[in-house]
Amino acid sequence: MRVLFDNFGKTLVAVAMPLAIMTLASCDEDLMKLKDESKGAYVQTEDKPIASTLEDYEEFSEWVNVLNYSETYSVLNARNGSASAHTFTLFAPTNEAMQRFYQKRGVSRVEELGVTYAAALVKTMTTDVDSLKLTELFSADVVVYNREGKLVNEAGENIYLSVDSIDGFDLWSKSSADTVGISREYIKCSNGFIYKADGALAPLVETVFDRVVANGASHIMVEALRATGYDKVLSTVADTTYVLGAQRITNYYYTLLNVSDEAFGRAGIGSLADLKNALAAHDDDPSATTDELLKRYVEYHLFDASYSLGELQEMIGTDTVRIWQPIANDQIMMISQSAAYVSQPAGEGGETALDTIYTYFLNVDDIEGQSIDDASSNVMAKNGYVHELTGWLPVYMPKQSTVVWDLADYSEIRNACQKEGYVFQPAEAVANESKLSVSSAKCYTVETGPEDSKNSSYGSLTYVTCKSNLKDCLNHDRLVFNMGYMGYVSMKTPTLVKGKYKVSIKMAYLVEQAFIRNCNGSKGGMMRIWVDLPEPAYKPADDEWETYHKLDCAPYTTITKSTPGVYETVLYDEIEFTETASHTFKFIMMDPAASTNAKFSLQFDAITFTPITE
C-alpha cells in the first residue's frame, strides 16, 4: 500500500487503499506529497523548484541521488497550486557530508540503506517552515523557535537550530549524536529555500523494541517481551483505521524500563525460566500462573507514553518521592530523590561552593539501591524512550503515601498534544494559552447536559495551559469542565494504596467567575461527586448509595479572595479504600448557571489524596 499525503498537517489522500482496518507502523515513513488543491494534480511551476535547482550544483549531486532513490525528488519539486502555497526549507548535505554519513553507518552508497531509510533521511533534513530566511530573521544571539520551542521537520521530530557565530548555524536533534553545520547563505527556489549542510542527521526509524534488541545485552528481556506479545506492541508506531469511510491515524508512544542480562545476573537470574521462577517466589498469590506473572512483570516496566529521564525524575513541588503508574493494572512505582552535597574547588574569590547531586532510587522500601542508570538511559526511539535499570525491579506492594492527581495527566492527552503540536505540561507559565478539546478522549467519559453550555470559549472538556496569573497550577495546565447543567465527566484516579485519605481539590479562579464565587445567579459551582458508582444499568438499593461516597459541594464558594489564582479546598475529610486500585470519580454539574450563563465553567487543576494514619 502507498500513502500519498500533502505536507505536514494537511488532509491525507489514500491511493489504492485497502478497505480493511490495518496496522501501519511505517505509514508515516512515506514522505508527504503535495497536491494541487484546485486541480487534484501534482504540478511544477515554471521557475525552478528545490530539487531541480539542486541539479545545477555539483556539490549536491549525491543528495540528488538520494532524492531519486528515495522517490522524494518530486516532493521537493512540487508546489501547492492554490493561493495558500506552502514552501519548504531544505538543509542539503554536500557530497563530502554524505560520504562521511555513509562511512559512519558502514555503507558506501545510499542503496545499501534501503528506500524507507533514505526517505526518512530526506524528511529529517526538511522542514515546512514557510520562507525561512535565517540570515534575515534571526540575530547572532537568537535560537529559532516555534510554539513548541523548537522546529519540527517533515518526520515529525523536534529539531533545534541555533546561531553559530563562526560557521553560520548549528542543527541538531535529541535523537542524534551529531551536530550539523548550516551555512549562512541560501538558495531561493520557487517553492522554498536551500541551505548547505556539512553533515546529515541520522533519521529516527528504530522502535522501542528495535532499541532493546540492538543493544545486544538484554536477551532475557527480549525473550520476555516476545513471550508476552509486547515485542509487537513496542514495534508499533501508528494504527490507521477507517470510521464511516474517514481515515484515522493513532500514534503510540511508550517508555520501557529495561533490565540487562547483567542486572538480572546480580539477582541470580540467568534465563527466562529463572525469571519466571523468581517471580513466582516473590509473589504471594499462589493461584497466579508464571505466564500471568511474567506478563504483569513486563507491564510493570512499561508506561504508555514517552517520558525522558528528566521527566521521570522530576519531583512535584518540595516532594522527594513521586508515584508513577505503569501499564500493569493496579500497580504503582515510587521514584525517590536523595540529595548529596559535594564541595567544588575554590573560585576566584577563594570561596568553596557546594554543588547538589541528586540520586534517584526505585521502590526503596522493597529492594534497596535500585535506580536508573543515567549514562545508559534516554535512548530515544521513534515511538518512545528506553531507560536502563540497575536492578531487576519486581512488582511490589507499596506503603500509603500522598498522591497528587493531575486531572489532565493522562498518556492519551500527552500523546494528543504531541500529535497536534501543543505543549503538554509546560515547564513555565505561557504567554498565550493553548486549548485542546479532549471530550472524545478515552480516558474521560463525558456527557453534556440536556441544555448544554452557552460558554463557547471552551469545549465540553478542554485541556488548557496557564498564564502567569495561574502559575501555581501543577504543571502549568488545567482541565476546564463545560458540560452544561446535569452534564458529567468521569475519570480514573491513579492507583491508590488501600487505606484512609483526606481529599482536597485545587481550582483555577478567573475574574469572569466572580458571579460563581459570589453565588450571583449561580450556586457556587455546585457539583455532585460519586466514587466508583456502578454503570447506570445497575440500580443500587436506597441504603447503598452512600457507600459510593456521594458528595454535594460548591467548591468556588470557599474562595475568600477576588484575586485570580489557584485555590484549594477539602472535598472529603476522610474517605477509605479497602483495596489497592484505581478509582472512578464522577463529577456531575448541579449548578443551573452551567447552561444559562455564557461565562460559566469549572476549572480544576489537581486532586490530592493525603494518607490518614491512626
Calpha distance 282→603 (Å, rounded): 44
Calpha distance 303→254 (Å, rounded): 6
pLDDT-derived band at 342 (thresholds 50, 70, 90) equals: low
- pLDDT for residue 30 is more than 60: no
> When comparing pLDDT for 416 and 480, which is higher?
480
pTM above threshold 0.85: no
- pLDDT for residue 235 is more than 90: yes
Contact by Cβ (8 Å): 340, 357: yes
> When comparing pLDDT for 13 and 466, which is higher?
466
What's the rounded mean pLDDT across residues 595-609?
A: 97
Handedness of CA 392, 393, 396, 399 (dihedral sign): positive
Write down all domains in the chain, each with its CATH number in brackets.
Answer: 2-197 (2.30.180.10), 208-389 (2.30.180.10), 403-611 (2.60.120.260)
- The predicted structure's pLDDT at residue 369: 63
Query: What integer best gives the mean pLDDT of the chain?
Result: 84
- The predicted structure's pLDDT at residue 352: 54
Contacts of 199 (CB under 8 A, 6+ apart): 93, 97, 100, 101, 178, 179, 180, 181
- pLDDT for residue 492 is more than 70: yes
- Look up cell 538511559; give the residue: 377
Indicate the length of the chain as a whole number.
614
- pLDDT for residue 244 is more than 80: no
Contacts of 422 (CB under 8 A, 6+ apart): 147, 148, 434, 436, 465
pLDDT-derived band at 135 (thresholds 50, 70, 90) equals: low
Mark out the alpha helices in 197-285 (DSSP H runs).
Answer: 208-214, 219-228, 230-233, 261-266, 272-282
Contact by Cβ (8 Å): 561, 529: no
Can you list the positions of beta strands (E) in 365-407? 372-373, 379-381, 384-389, 403-406
Tell me which residue of 204, 258, 250, 251 sits closest to 230, measured CA to CA: 258
Least confident of 65-74, 186-195, 442-451, 556-565: 186-195
CA distances, 68 to each of 63, 118, 119, 205 (Å): 9, 10, 10, 20
- The predicted structure's pLDDT at residue 9: 31
